[in-house]
Structure formats: structure tokens, C-alpha cells
Structure 1
């Protein structure tokens, strides 16, 4: 038997008003996200457009495997070091200006990288790119928390998924076509006109609620100590075993200096009035286990996928354009599944089961990718990539979501950026360490096949001498220019070597699973950051009555109120 609205205690007029209010808030959020989404698209395009071209770029600049690794590592290193700085600044200063500044830094450095005539200049520009990328990654998450509640966040993940799909899939394809038909340098210039539009749109459409005024005290000592310590440690990870030994004076100085610097950083943070990373956050179980999960998922995401272009081009002989097409299954898994899961989380309010399943898929995907060879059926490689991408997509963004849901609003910016920071640290260590493992594996496997190579080169005569000179140079070879008999040997070496690094990374998938299993299964809140701050202030005020306290208690329990609060993204003067 149906029950009339009047019997339910809600009049038809009130229901219509509720629907209209919800639609109005939805339109306001979409308007606020327009410039932000375009800025995110530009930054991602500028990064992904060169991903499939890196083997060609490094070969053209006479770089070796170490240079290839450092071109990626330099960006990740700068992103990691700058991310908590941007996050802390977002808790203190105008977030809109900060995100525009980050976009300008990123795009100027990207354009400057197009003028590179050696790998040193390219790596230097990638460092500056990383500084901008750290801001864009952290600030996007923080701004989302400003205007969208944790419970409603999944509703809008489809938009972010579409932008990610367009940039992560379209970027490598555009980059491949530009590299194959024009010149790889234009990969670095392509996003500049779009960046100008993005800056205008952010200025026009993004209006953020102001933060509560507080004294701005920047933790300069913390910034210097963290940057120096982490940089020194990550540089050591990338150079040990090749430039110097594990048990050497250089190792002692670099590791000892890093540990001493980190100890000093902890001491400074305990005393600083506005610490760069408030160590009290680690008392929060959600934050602590999310940090552990982010470290390991960072290795899986950055430390393995960055070498997929090498697998496609050096183990399967694909062109830059084709290698972009061939990595679509992983991106499809990440984007499709993350979008669907976001909607399911908004609908049900439950998140933990999805994160646990994602951790399982991540581990299984890494193990399966560890079985591939240069001649493995591509449909099978595609299935493995899809599973790996689905696992990353279900875990990565949801770890930020659950942290934003549980930490105090005062520290939301620094907590969000800290998760990104530790994920990027994991990725940077992963790229450096796995890059060193890959270089060692390639060298060892080529040595094992020395007899086959000599036989193939000898049989080719003069043509074989050119191939031998190319392999002996130590630079990344252009496999398509090698004679077929030599090419097959090189492809088999790179195929098995890349598979080996996935197996090395697989145990970290288990670490992610353990971390998310220990996460407290808290319900998702229904207030934006601004609304929650107002509710907390009202509850703390002496005049706050039982009704306000009850409303805050309802939010803490993750219950969504029947009628929208009426608070919206202000369209007036932006003080945020």
C-alpha cells in the first residue's frame, strides 16, 4: 500500500523545493568545477603527451637507461617534495591563486623542456614541472573537499574520470602522432594555448568559500629539512649499485645525512606553530594506514606503469603511436572502474569493501604482469593490464577520500596533500629502484645471450657491426632499426626484464591490502569542508543549542539530512 506525502509528514511542495534546491546546488558545483577540470586536463595532457615518446626522446638526446629513469624520477621527486608545501599553503592562503600559480609553473617548464638539446636540460625542466604538478595534484583534491561533501564526491567522479580518460588515453596518442609525423619537441608545446584558456576559466568560474582568518606562519625550516632529506635519499636510491656500491662512503654519507635530516625535521615539526606535516595526524588510524597504503600503491602506479612504454616499444617493437594505443586497457581499467565505484559509494555510503577488492586486484594484476614475455598474446597482456588498472583505480582516490572524511577541517589541506606526498614518494622510490633493477636485468640477460648475439651479428656481416655498435653504446636501442635476428633477441631480453620488475613490486600489493584491512570503517559525512567548519564553530559556541549539537552529531555519524542545508558555493568575492 502506498503512503501519501502528507501521511509521511512531507508535503508535495516541500519535496519539490528539496529537488529544486538539490538541482541548484548541483549546477553551482558544476560551474565551480569547470575551470578546475580544464586546468587538470591541461596539466595531465602536458605530462601524458610525452609518455609514449620518451624512448624516442632519450634516444635522440643520446641518453641511456639511467637518463630515461631520471627524466621520470626528477618530476616525481619534485612533486613529492613540493606536495606537502602546497597543501600547507592551501590551509593558510588563497587556494584559487595557488592553483593558478601551480598551473603557470607547470606549463612554462613544459614549454621550456621542448628546447632541450641534452638530457640534463630536460631533467632540470622536469624538476620544475614536478613543482607545479605537486600543487595541481594536491590543490585539486583540497578544492573538491571545499565544495563537495565526502558522500557526494562519487557523483562527480565521472567528470574527473572523463577528463582523465581524455588526457591519459588521448595524450599518448597525440604524442605518438606528433613524434612519428612532426617532431617530439612539439609534445611539450601542445598544452600551452589550452593553459591560457584554463587560467581564464579558473578565474571566471572557481569561487571558493573563505577560510577562517589565522596568522600565516610558514614552516621554512621544515620545508628545507624535508626537501633536502627526501631528495638525498631518493638520489641515493637511484644511483646506488651503478655509480657506487651499497657498502661505500657515498652510501654512508647520503643515507646517514638523510636520516639525520629527517630526525631534525621531526624535532622541528614538534616545535613549529604551523608544522608542514602535523605529526599529531599519525595518531589518527585512518591517516596512518592510508599513508602506508599510499606508499605501496604509489610504487604500483608509477613504478611499474612508467615502464610499460618501454615494454611496448622495446619488447614488442611498437611505434610511439601504437604503444599509446596498447596501454589503453590499463587506463580503461583505472578510469571505468574508479568512476563506477565512485557512483556506488555515493549511492550506498559504503567504501571499505571496494578498497579491499581493489587491493586484491592490484596484487593479482602485478603478479600476472610478472608472467609476460615479448611474445605473450596481447589479449592476455591487455587483461592483466585491465586488472592492474582497476585495482589502482579502486584504491588510489578513495584513500584520499577516507582521510578527508576523518581528519579535522583545520588540517584537511595538509592531510590530503600528505597522502599525495607519500604516494608520490612511493612512486619515486619505485621508479628509481625498479629502473635500477631493469637496467641490471637487461645487462645480465644480454650477457646470458652473448653467444646468440655474436652468432647473429657475425652472420650479418657489415650490417651486424652497426647493430653491435648500437648495443655496445649503452643507450636505449631503437629496436625497429635493428636486423630481425638481433631484434628478436633484444625484444626477448626487454620483455622478460620488464616482467621481472612487476614481480618485484607484487609484495607491495599485499602491503596495501593489509593497510586497508586495518582502516576504520567510518561512514562518509554529508557536509563540505566549509559547512563542517561552520557546524563545528556553532557547536563550540556557548549559544549553540541542542539542535546544533544534534546536527553535528548527525554529520559525524555520516547521516545525510533530509533537506539540503542551503549553503552553497558563493558566487561573490573569492577570499579562498
Structure 2
């Protein structure tokens, strides 16, 4: 195959780089599904049931912040160095988590581990954006994205086996040999891609204000889950402080020589539309990931193991369609119609899921969730490819990291909102007269009705996505983007 890249890489080097990136990505991708299985035993060992969600919360917060920060820092210090640093950070902090003796230590170490996790889920996609021409990016991003599907399918199984056979601490220790393998492969195969014209100036003001702004709004959303314990006035203070920090962040970025999130990105309509669509696509996907198993257990009476097995077709369809979508974009050089199709299929999936009731057989639940998985899988590649094609090579790092950032924010915001809908429904006068099972059905139906509205918004927004045909040659495409095509996307 003829690889069109600004770097002189052989096919063997390409294969080795992709293998290293996939192994590194797999380390972080496994984290979510394995931790979910291990946490009950972690709580039994370390106690602190009231802090059950905080190891997840601290990890999600730090990883989301790290996506933007280290995406930009990799422009300055090189992709290879930052990626290896991310793997090493993840491995070391995994060991620290494994030796935690109380919940406070685990929460702290998980927060540190999230820094490495944020690097690992964003840098591989940036590297692919730099190695390949626009058309080939889609294909290889599909291969990378399939790692998430693999982790979702195998994670619960591996996590269960490790936890039951060796103890929960080995859920963290197992990252050590995998991390060493990833570092070795990347160290000897990956050139240290970096941008030669970037000034080595770190935007400290941007980093501080961005971290404070995102942290406070994140904690406000998390604490809002228990209004009785955390009064509204306390959350209001956090929200006001967050808004103030965001305002300072905008001022800092306007003055920064090398801003961590250049504000000029938001002048591009492809970036804006793709950011919003990434947010919505993530929310829709997690509506299924969270509430299909709950329906299976709480309504159909399935065991936890069987409810996990019923999710496998959804995750497999997500993985397969991610790869197929990349192949289609690679062959056609176009992506807009696929975005429209993605939200149509996702919309059909949540409409079907909203019709579920106490008489719904398990095989229909399996079929409905699989439809949602097909649509969600398409979204993994499209927006990365769209924004990478709309910007010059110099900005590939930050725009790619931004898409992952907005996907994470979509999860952070939507999950508590779905939880509020469920709690509100269960406490409503309509639910009081129903049985426990019927009330649960009603609450899940309401969640998927909201998901239907989100999918409709995503579909409407998709028609506003400008399309720049993907080129075969990287250098020629960058020239087209910078001189003419980019103006069409504004």
C-alpha cells in the first residue's frame, strides 16, 4: 500500500506504530469496564460506601482536563515523549492504586491515574492524524476506535476473572506488563512528531483557569445528585465560581502566545458543529450503556452476568460499524451523509428502546440496543476526520484532542441528567400508584424519550455540517485547507 505522509515510514513501521498505539489505548480503554466490576469488592475491602462514585469521578475529571492540556503540550514537546510519559504515569499510578489502604488514597491515586488515561485516549488519534493522508486517517481511526469496543466486551469478563481469582488489587497491577509492552513498541517505532514552528511557551494562566473552571462545574454536577446532602446554595456558589473562571480563561487565551485552546478554532463551523455532535453522540451512547442493563436486571429479572452478556451485541456492533465507517470515508472521501445516517440510526435505536415495557422479551432488548450500537459506532470516527480535514497540520493535535474532550463532557453532563430524570419520575405522583417494576419502566422510558429529543437535535445540526472532500495527499490537502477550503467551512 502506498502511504501518503510527510514522514518516510515503511509498511512495517506503520504496522508497529499502530500496534503500539492500540496496546497503549487498550490500557486506558479497559479501565472503565474493569473498574465497574471490581468496585463492589474494593468497597468491601476499603469501606466508604458513601464514596462509591468518587474513584470514577476523580479519574474522569483529571482525564478530561488532561486531554486538552497534553494535546497542546504534545505540540511543543512531541507526541512520542508525551505519549510515553502518559503510559508511564498510568502504570505507576496503577501500582499506587493497587496498594491503596483507604478510600481517600484510592480517590487521590485515581485522579493521578486519570492524567495518564487522558493522554492515552487522545494522543493515538492525534498521531494517526499526522501519519496518514486525510482519506487514510478515517480507516486507521476506525481500527483504533475498535479498541474501545473490544475493551467493552472483554473488560467485564477479564475484570470478573481477575477480581475473583486474584483480588481487586490485581485489576491495577495487570496494567504494568501491558504498559511496558506499549512503551517498548512505541519507543522503537514511533518518530517524535512535533511542530517545528511552535514556541516553547507554556500557557500557565490558561491551564490554571481552565482546570479550576472545569473542576468546579464538574463537582457541582456530581454533588447535585444528592440535593438533600448538598444544598442548592452550595452548588450555586460552585457554578458562579466556574463561570467566573471560564471568563478569566477566555481572557487568558486571548493574550496567550501559545494558548492551550486557541479561540480561533471556534470561528470554524466544522469545529463547532462537530463539537456539539460529539457531545450529543456520547450522551446517546451512554443512555444505552447505563439503562439497558438496568432494564434487563430491574424489569426482566436477569442476573448481573446475563445483563452484561446481553450488551455484547451492542458493543460488537459499535466496534464493527466504527471500522466500516472508516473504510467508507476512506473510499468516498466524504462524511456528511454518514453523520446524517448516524443520527437517523441512533434515533431509531432510542425510539425502539423507549417502547420497552414489562412484557418486552429479552431478544427485542438485545435487538434494540444493537441498533443503538450501530449508530453510536459510526460517531467514533466521523468528527475526528472532519475537523482534522478542516484545519492545517499545525492544529491537528488540539482539534483532535478537543473532539475527545467534548465526548467526555457529553458523558459528564448527560449521566447526572439521566439520573435526575429517573429519580424525579420515581418520586412523581404517577409513579407512586405503580408497582416498583412499572415505576422503573416509566422512568427508563422517560430517559429514552429525552434521548429521542437529543437524537433529533443531532440530526438537525448534522445538516449544518459543512463538508470538505478528503484528499489523497496530505501536503496538498493542507495547502487547500489553509488557502481556500477552510474559508468555505467558516
Alignment pair present for 1:170 and 2:154: yes
Deviation at 1:218, TM superposition (A): 1.0
Residues 82-112 of structure 1, C-alpha deviation per residue, up to 9 Å, x if partnerless?
Answer: 2110111121112111111112222333343
Query: Aligned equivalents of 2:212 and 2:441: distance in 1?
Result: 36
Secondary structure of 1:521's aligned partner = coil
Alignment pair present for 1:150 and 2:150: no
Partner of 1:220: 204
Deviation at 1:234, TM superposition (A): 1.8
Equivalent pair of 1:86/1:135 in contact (CA under 8 Å): yes
The counterpart of 2:213, out of the listed 200, 211, 229, is 229
Query: Aligned equivalents of 1:317 and 1:111: distance in 2?
Result: 38
Query: Aligned equivalents of 1:368 and 1:523: distance in 2?
Result: 34
Partner of 1:507: 453
Partner of 1:139: 123
Query: Aligned equivalents of 2:81 and 2:101: distance in 1?
Result: 33
Secondary structure of 1:524's aligned partner = coil
Deviation at 1:117, TM superposition (A): 5.8
Seen in structure 2, the aligned counterparts of structure 1 residues 248 and 160 have a Cα distance that, compared at 3 Å, is closer
Deviation at 1:357, TM superposition (A): 0.6
The counterpart of 2:472, out of the listed 526, 538, 555, is 526
Partner of 1:378: 362
Secondary structure of 2:82's aligned partner = helix
Query: Aligned equivalents of 1:53 and 1:369: distance in 2?
Result: 28
Aligned residues: 486
Seen in structure 2, the aligned counterparts of structure 1 residues 269 and 390 have a Cα distance that, compared at 3 Å, is same
TM-score by length of 1: 0.75
Equivalent pair of 2:76/2:194 in contact (CA under 8 Å): no
Partner of 2:170: 186
Alignment pair present for 1:517 and 2:463: yes
Residues 537-574 of structure 1, C-alpha deviation per residue, up to 9 Å, x if partnerless?
Answer: xxxxxxxxxxxx9x9989999xxxxxxxxxxxxxxxxx
Query: Aligned equivalents of 2:9 and 2:68: distance in 1?
Result: 34
Alignment pair present for 1:258 and 2:242: yes
Q: CA RMSD in A?
A: 3.5
Secondary structure of 1:216's aligned partner = coil
Secondary structure of 1:372's aligned partner = coil
Deviation at 1:179, TM superposition (A): 3.9
Deviation at 1:241, TM superposition (A): 6.0
Partner of 1:325: 309
Secondary structure of 1:49's aligned partner = helix
Equivalent pair of 1:147/1:208 in contact (CA under 8 Å): no
Secondary structure of 2:248's aligned partner = helix
Unaligned runs of 5+ in 1: 1-17, 453-488, 537-548, 558-576
Instruction: Report the more deviating stretch, 415-424 or 176-185.
Output: 176-185
Seen in structure 2, the aligned counterparts of structure 1 residues 146 and 391 have a Cα distance that, compared at 3 Å, is same
Query: Aligned equivalents of 2:414 and 2:131: distance in 1?
Result: 34
Deviation at 1:295, TM superposition (A): 1.8
Q: How do 1:354-503 and structure 2 match up within 5 A? A: 354-373=338-357, 376-441=360-425, 448=432, 489=436, 494=440, 496-503=442-449
Seen in structure 2, the aligned counterparts of structure 1 residues 375 and 75 have a Cα distance that, compared at 3 Å, is farther
Residues 110-131 of structure 1, C-alpha deviation per residue, up to 9 Å, x if partnerless?
Answer: 3433445655444333322322
Deviation at 1:354, TM superposition (A): 1.0
Residues 480-509 of structure 1, C-alpha deviation per residue, up to 9 Å, x if partnerless?
Answer: xxxxxxxxx5x6665554444333333222
The counterpart of 1:39, out of the listed 24, 45, 49, is 24
Equivalent pair of 2:34/2:156 in contact (CA under 8 Å): yes
Seen in structure 2, the aligned counterparts of structure 1 residues 111 and 247 have a Cα distance that, compared at 3 Å, is closer
Unaligned runs of 5+ in 2: none
Seen in structure 2, the aligned counterparts of structure 1 residues 129 and 24 have a Cα distance that, compared at 3 Å, is closer
Equivalent pair of 1:146/1:208 in contact (CA under 8 Å): no
Deviation at 1:444, TM superposition (A): 6.2
Q: How do 1:107-146 and structure 2 match up within 5 A? A: 107-116=91-100, 119-146=103-130
Equivalent pair of 1:149/1:525 in contact (CA under 8 Å): yes
Seen in structure 2, the aligned counterparts of structure 1 residues 211 and 431 have a Cα distance that, compared at 3 Å, is same
Secondary structure of 1:264's aligned partner = helix
The counterpart of 2:320, out of the listed 336, 340, 353, is 336
Secondary structure of 2:258's aligned partner = coil
Seen in structure 2, the aligned counterparts of structure 1 residues 376 and 229 have a Cα distance that, compared at 3 Å, is same
Seen in structure 2, the aligned counterparts of structure 1 residues 441 and 109 have a Cα distance that, compared at 3 Å, is farther
Query: Aligned equivalents of 2:386 and 2:214: distance in 1?
Result: 26
Equivalent pair of 2:388/2:399 in contact (CA under 8 Å): yes
Seen in structure 2, the aligned counterparts of structure 1 residues 84 and 492 have a Cα distance that, compared at 3 Å, is same
Query: Aligned equivalents of 1:333 and 1:59: distance in 2?
Result: 35
Partner of 2:267: 283
Partner of 1:467: none
Query: Aligned equivalents of 1:166 and 1:242: distance in 2?
Result: 34
Structure showing greater radius of gyration is 1
Residues 209-235 of structure 1, C-alpha deviation per residue, up to 9 Å, x if partnerless?
Answer: 453143211111111111111111121
Higher helix share: 2
Seen in structure 2, the aligned counterparts of structure 1 residues 169 and 96 have a Cα distance that, compared at 3 Å, is same
Equivalent pair of 1:400/1:416 in contact (CA under 8 Å): yes
Seen in structure 2, the aligned counterparts of structure 1 residues 556 and 253 have a Cα distance that, compared at 3 Å, is closer
Deviation at 1:181, TM superposition (A): 5.0
Query: Aligned equivalents of 2:62 and 2:378: distance in 1?
Result: 26
Seen in structure 2, the aligned counterparts of structure 1 residues 89 and 430 have a Cα distance that, compared at 3 Å, is same
Equivalent pair of 2:75/2:194 in contact (CA under 8 Å): no
